[in-house]
């Protein structure tokens, strides 16, 4: 495990160097979050009773989404991994005395965490100063805070596991573009990144909540905003645990098959 922690530490340290990009990202995320809230505000003013979440809960959801954008966005994959598969340099990594899945997983985890660390605190602190119902609020109970932390950790794990599947599937194609576009579209739509899942029709929402994508950002943000409480929150966290284990097992099995039949092109 020490060598994989070293991969994690190196990647995390490298990610912390991009402070100018983080500052630009913070400004962009503030403006994007404000724009979304203004759009929702217009709809809520028309008929507040027509929405499954309160305006305060929706605003918390949006600001959390912007603060932890790097943790859950599907399009934040590592281009270096795709390039190594395409240009043949993956052969060098296959010769190393390390588990390829564990190495990529630790790198991807560090890549997302480093970006989130640089951006989350300024966004959370500033939005906490915005008057209600448009700003952030503190969790109403210790259990909600604990559920949010556990949900964030499991959601990040699931996000990286899904991205690992995309990386591995690239072994079986000549270009990762098609798989990447389909995966990113599915993640964005089904995880609640475009629209919170409670806003979907009930039948569709119930199906979407069973999919692994709903166990990413959807669960921790709704627990924080008290849209998921009690038994429903525990059930959602349990489903997160299931997908966290199942996706890693699936990824490792697929990686074993890919490495057994890999054909290196280029180099």
Confidence check: pLDDT of 37 > 60? yes
Whether the model pTM is above 0.85: yes
- What lies within 8 Å, CB to CB, of 62 at 6+ separation is 33, 36, 37, 40
Taking the C-alpha atoms of residue 206 and residue 200, their distance in angstroms, rounded to an integer, is: 9
More confident residue, 90 or 209: 209
- The H or E element that residue 175 is part of is none
Confidence check: pLDDT of 220 > 60? yes
Question: What pLDDT is recorded for position 141?
Answer: 84
What value does the mean pLDDT of the chain take? 89
Q: What is the pLDDT of residues 114-149, one digit of tens each?
A: 989 988 999 999 999 998 889 998 888 888 899 999
Confidence check: pLDDT of 68 > 50? yes
Burial label for 194, CB within 10 Å (0-12, 13-18, 19+), is exposed
- At 261 the three-state DSSP class reads coil
Question: What pLDDT is recorded for position 229?
Answer: 87
Task: Answer for the pair 65, 217: CB distance below 8 angstroms, yes or no.
Answer: yes
């Amino acid at each position: 495990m020490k060598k994989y922690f070293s991969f994690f530490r190196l990647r995390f340290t490298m990610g912390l160097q991009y402070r100018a990009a983080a500052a630009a990202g913070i400004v962009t995320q503030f403006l994007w979050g404000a724009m979304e809230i203004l759009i929702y505000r217009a709809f809520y003013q028309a008929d507040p009773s027509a929405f499954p979440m309160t305006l305060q809960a929706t605003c918390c959801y949006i600001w959390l989404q912007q603060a932890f954008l790097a943790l859950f966005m599907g399009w934040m994959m590592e281009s270096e991994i795709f390039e190594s598969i395409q240009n043949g340099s993956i052969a060098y990594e296959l010769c190393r005395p390390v588990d390829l899945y564990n190495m990529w997983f630790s790198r991807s985890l560090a890549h997302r965490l480093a970006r989130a660390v640089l951006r989350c605190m300024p966004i959370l602190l500033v939005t906490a100063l915005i008057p209600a119902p448009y700003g952030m609020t503190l969790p109403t109970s210790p259990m909600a805070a604990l559920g949010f932390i556990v949900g964030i950790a499991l959601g990040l794990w699931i996000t990286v596991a899904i991205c690992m599947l995309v990386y591995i599937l690239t072994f079986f194609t000549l270009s990762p573009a098609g798989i990447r576009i389909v995966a990113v579209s599915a993640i964005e739509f089904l995880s609640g990144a475009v629209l919170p899942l409670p806003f979907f029709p009930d039948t569709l929402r119930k199906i979407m909540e069973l999919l692994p994508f709903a166990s990413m950002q959807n669960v921790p943000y709704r627990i924080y905003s008290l849209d998921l409480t009690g038994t429903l929150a525990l059930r959602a966290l349990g489903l997160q645990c299931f997908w966290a284990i199942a996706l890693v097992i699936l990824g490792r099995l697929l990686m074993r098959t890919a490495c057994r039949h890999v054909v290196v092109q280029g180099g």
